[in-house]
Amino acid sequence: MLFPAKGLSAALVIAASLFSIATEAYAQSGKASWYALTSRTASGERCDPGAMTAAHRSLPFGTKVKVENLNNGRSVVLRINDRGPFIKGRVIDVTKAAAAKLGFLKAGTVPVKLTVLS
């Protein structure tokens, strides 16, 4: 017979492992756009166009995502701190600084792949 604490520990280890696998396996593709507002974000932070942050419809605030520009292979790691985009086909809105590093300021939108890191 298992002691409750021992069984609970095993269950927590299994749950943590499954969560880790689920978040590492999460990837999403679609279009990215950029914005340079300075208003408050949905998380309550002030939007900083020079920060490496982004808006996503459903990922928890604070989630780190790798965003890869599928046209040129450039990638950045961003922190989710806002909600959006709310335009069909777009999966993420990034700050102006992130768009510059990804190389799509002039284009306005670009196909990307998102991978959740944490």
Looking up residue 107, the CATH number of its domain turns out to be 2.40.40.10
Q: Please report whether residue 32 resides in a domain.
A: yes
- Split into its structural domains, the chain has a count of 1
Residue 11's φ and ψ, nearest 5 degrees, are -65, -40
Q: Please report whether residue 34 resides in a domain.
A: yes
Domain hosting 87: range is: 27-116
Q: Please report whether residue 1 resides in a domain.
A: no
d(CA 35, CA 82): 11
Q: Please report whether residue 3 resides in a domain.
A: no
pTM to 2 decimals?
Answer: 0.77
CA proximity to 114, closest of 47, 23, 2: 23
Q: What is the residue-level pLDDT of the chain in tens, covering all 118 positions? A: 444 445 445 444 444 444 444 444 578 999 999 998 888 999 999 999 999 999 999 999 999 999 999 999 999 999 999 999 999 999 999 999 999 999 999 999 999 999 999 8
User: What does DSSP assign to residue 60?
Assistant: P
Q: Please report whether residue 17 resides in a domain.
A: no
